[in-house]
Homo-oligomer: A and B are copies of this chain.
Amino acid sequence: MIIVDRISEMQALMRQCRREGKTIGFVPTMGYLHEGHAALIDRAREENDMVVVSIFVNPLQFGPNEDFARYPRDFARDRHIAEQRGVDVLFHPEAGEMYPGPLTVQAVVKARTDVLCGRSRPGHFDGVATVLIKLFHIVMPDRAYFGMKDAQQVAVVDGLIRDFNFPIELVPVPTVREADGLAKSSRNVYLSSQERKEAPALYQALQAAAAAVEEGERSGDALRRLVKEHIEAHTHAEIDYVEVCSYPDLTPLETLHGTVLVAVAVRFTSARLIDNVILRLPEAPRQEE
């Protein structure tokens, strides 16, 4: 595995790979790799000649009151995991390499951000989009892999790739779960043993929503209520949001149709957990124009 920390070196290396006709799969991360990342790497490994993983805790996507400084970092461990997983190139730049001075230009995400987690993190997705533009130009991948655990991020990246005509295929990878359905997350270790027993109720609630839709439910409000009541009945968590919206546009839905995202965020004592499911319904009939 090659470890690169300079942009110019990375671009030269990737140019050489492309010249040799190799396809490149890219997994951008903020490090502290876990099984969710491993699933992205495995999928990239299956589909490409080369797998590139970036590890960069991007200051631009943290708000002033967020935990940029405290964000966990463990490069030795990440490096070991990446190597074991068959990663070819690990790109690990310093902040000063990525942002040598103030930016003269930045990406601003104008849609898909004022719902779900984006509502409470103004500017977060501008920072995500800006660093991804940079990373995409540095790595020049054929495919980029993102976990559906953060469905809103995938929706924003979908818009970024589509609207800016990046010659890159976005590959969304399904959420990795524990045997009892709890979505894997670095934050699960912060749950008390009682909370850990309750936490699978999130995914159970989402599955109950899927079952209701299967049986004909088409009301967004009814679905929100169903999920909310299930979580309230089975956990002591505080609900941050339960949202039912179109995907990838993330418009809240009154009547369900097309591709639908049902997403939840809850707060336990020391951990905020998120989860979601995607449901595929028939499209609404097009309105006459």
Q: Does A105 reach chain B (CB closer than 8 Å)?
A: yes
Complex interface: stretch among A25-33, A48-56, A164-172 = A164-172
> Knowing A19-B21, A21-B19 touch, does A167 contact B11 (C-beta < 8 A)?
yes
- Specify which of B102, B111, B165, B167 is in contact with A111 (CB 8 Å cutoff): B102
Q: Does A223 reach chain B (CB closer than 8 Å)?
A: no
Determine whether the beta carbon of A165 is less than 8 Å from that of B104.
no
Please tell me how many copies of the chain the complex holds: 2
Determine whether the beta carbon of B108 is less than 8 Å from that of A112.
no
Chain A positions within 8 Å of B, measured between CB atoms, are 7, 11, 15, 18-19, 21, 102-112, 129, 133-134, 137-138, 140, 156, 159-160, 162-167
Determine whether the beta carbon of A106 is less than 8 Å from that of B110.
yes
Set of chain B residues within 8 Å of A163, measured between Cβ atoms:
103-105, 134
User: For the complex, what is the distance from the CA of A134 to the CA of B161, rounded to whole Å?
Assistant: 10
- A96: min CB distance to chain B, Å: 14
Determine whether the beta carbon of A108 is less than 8 Å from that of B106.
yes
Set of chain B residues within 8 Å of A104, measured between Cβ atoms:
109-112, 156, 159-160, 162-163
**A159 closest partner in B (C-beta):** B104
